[in-house]
């Protein structure tokens, strides 16, 4: 089994990339709008995908993961256009869990609240 993975030492520590290759691979992949759009369309529920325009998502420069958790979590926020021309946001949290975690829902809720606080400050 092979994984094509590019380490960019200017952006992240090499040892960190090796320790968490799946998280960093997805984070890097989601940095490119066309690839992010394809992956999101493939993985999102059809009920969500049908409302997205064909335009690729735009990556928003923001992270809502606590600094102490950034070694284990990555997140990406995308600004997307809907089929009716409105703006929506898609928040992607990337985390490899080796065991089930019943608190994931609370983590996601906390990150969404942080996003909404930031949005409110800016608008």
d(CA 79, CA 7): 26
Asked whether residue 3 is domain-assigned, the answer is: no
The 58-60 sheet, strands edge to edge: 58-60, 73-81, 87-95
Compute the Cα dihedral for 8, 11, 15, 19 and give only its sign: negative
Asked whether residue 104 is domain-assigned, the answer is: yes
Contact in structure between 28 and 6 (CB atoms under 8 Å): yes
Backbone angles phi, psi at 88, to 5 degrees: -135, 165
What range defines the domain where residue 65 resides?
Answer: 14-122
Asked whether residue 78 is domain-assigned, the answer is: yes
Asked whether residue 4 is domain-assigned, the answer is: no
d(CA 107, CA 66): 10
Asked whether residue 6 is domain-assigned, the answer is: no
Q: Nearest CA to 71 among 25, 111, 114, 24?
A: 24
More confident residue, 61 or 82: 82
Q: What is the pLDDT of residues 52-65, one digit of tens each?
A: 999 999 988 877 76
Asked whether residue 8 is domain-assigned, the answer is: no
Mean of all residue pLDDT scores within the chain: 75
Query: Model-level pTM greater than 0.75?
Result: no
Query: Which are the contacts of 114, defined by CB distance < 8 A and separation ≥ 6?
Result: 64
Asked whether residue 45 is domain-assigned, the answer is: yes
Count of domains observed in the chain: 1
More confident residue, 18 or 74: 74
Give the burial string for 63-90 (b: 16+ CB within 10 Å, else e): bbbeeeeeeebbbbbbebbeeeeeeeeb
């Amino acid at each position: 089994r092979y994984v094509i993975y590019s380490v960019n030492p200017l952006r992240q520590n090499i040892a960190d990339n090796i320790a968490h290759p799946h998280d960093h691979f997805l984070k890097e992949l989601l940095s490119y709008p066309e690839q992010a759009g394809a992956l999101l369309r493939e993985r999102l529920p059809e009920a969500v995908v049908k409302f997205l325009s064909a335009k690729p998502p735009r990556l928003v420069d923001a992270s809502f993961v606590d600094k102490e958790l950034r070694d284990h979590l990555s997140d990406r926020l995308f600004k997307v256009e809907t089929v009716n021309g409105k703006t929506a946001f898609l928040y992607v949290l990337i985390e490899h869990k080796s065991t089930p975690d019943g608190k994931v829902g609370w983590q996601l809720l906390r990150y969404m609240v942080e996003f909404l606080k930031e949005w409110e400050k800016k608008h």
